[in-house]
Structure formats: C-alpha cells, structure tokens
Amino acid sequence: MKLDSGAGRVAVLCARALVAGVFTWAAIPKLVDPAQFAESIANYHLLPTAVIGPLAAGLPVLELVVAVALLVGVHARGAALVAIALLVVFAGGMAQAILRGIDLDCGCFGAATRAQVTWWSVGRNAGLSVAASVVAFGPEVDLRRLFARSSSAAKT
C-alpha cells in the first residue's frame, strides 16, 4: 500500500486515532493520581528522587497534548515524533527493569489498569512506535480538507 494513496491516508488517520487513544487512556489516570504515578516511576529504580515528582506531574500533560494534537491534526507529525521518542524511552525503561529482574507494574495507565512489565509491554510500545511512524512519515492528512471533499462529493 502506498501511503500517499487513499488507503494510505486512511492508514494515517487510523494510526493517529490509535496512538491518540492510547496516550489519552494513559494520561488521564496519571493526571488524576500523580502520587500513584510517581510511585510507579520510582519503582523502576532509574531516576533520582528529585526528578520523580515533576516528571509524574508533567509527563501526563505531555501525553495529553500529544493525543490532542494527533486527534485534531495540529502539528500531527511533530506530535507523532514526540510519541515515538516517549515510547522508545518507556520501552527502554521497561527493558532495563526486566533485565535487572525488577518485578513491577508498568504504571503505563496509572492506577486504572494494572499490567506487569513484560517483553509484551516492550513489544506493545514498539508496535505503537510503528503506528506513530506512519503518522510522522506518511502523508499529511488535513481533516478539514478531507471532510470538505466528502461533503462536496455528496452534493454532486
């Protein structure tokens, strides 16, 4: 499938919706309970204590901004690149925990969903990175133009 074809544009829209949905699902519970998310971050034994609180407060906001940008289409490519960077960092954190024998809940979706860190978690992030790459490197899809074409085609 060529990404600049009609099917390619649909693939980009589906990828945008998928990544935005996951990032929204991840952000909201962490925004509601940042203390729980801070505890999840600390359980990775990766960051200095002084960084954990601000990260627990700021990361969900960034995730939500990325999700909104992907949904609305404003700077969707840039949002997709940020999503890829975050997903790679998250996967790296999970991989180091597995390799160090740290058994923990990933904290990916706050307290809303409990999920142990496994290689499946790392793979999920890799798959989401592929979806975000479709957005970042695929054709730009402007929903306003797309809907304008649909409504003008319907009128004729």
pLDDT digits (tens, 9 = 90+) for 68-124: 999 999 999 999 999 999 999 999 999 999 999 999 999 998 877 888 999 999 999
Contact 9, 146 (CB under 8 A): yes
- Whether 144 is covered by a domain: the verdict is no
- Whether 124 is covered by a domain: the verdict is yes
- Whether 156 is covered by a domain: the verdict is no
- Whether 68 is covered by a domain: the verdict is yes
Q: 122-152, pLDDT tens digit by residue?
A: 999 999 999 999 999 998 887 666 555 555 5
Q: Give the whole-angstrom CA distance, residue 72 versus residue 16.
A: 9
Helix (H) or strand (E) holding 121: helix 119-137
Q: What is the DSSP string of 40-70?
A: HHHTT--S-HHHHHHHHHHHHHHHHHHHHHH
- Whether 95 is covered by a domain: the verdict is yes
136 against 2, higher pLDDT: 136
Q: Give the whole-angstrom CA distance, residue 9 versus residue 146.
A: 10
- Whether 63 is covered by a domain: the verdict is yes
Which domain, by its residues, includes 13?
Answer: 6-139
CA neighbor of 96 nearest in space, from 122, 129, 128: 122
Q: What is the pLDDT of residue 148?
A: 58
Q: Give the whole-angstrom CA distance, residue 144 versus residue 91.
A: 34
Q: What is the pLDDT of residue 110?
A: 84
Q: 6-57, pLDDT tens digit by residue?
A: 777 899 999 999 999 999 999 999 999 999 999 999 999 999 999 999 999 9
**Count of structural domains, the chain:** 1
Q: What is the pLDDT of residue 142?
A: 77
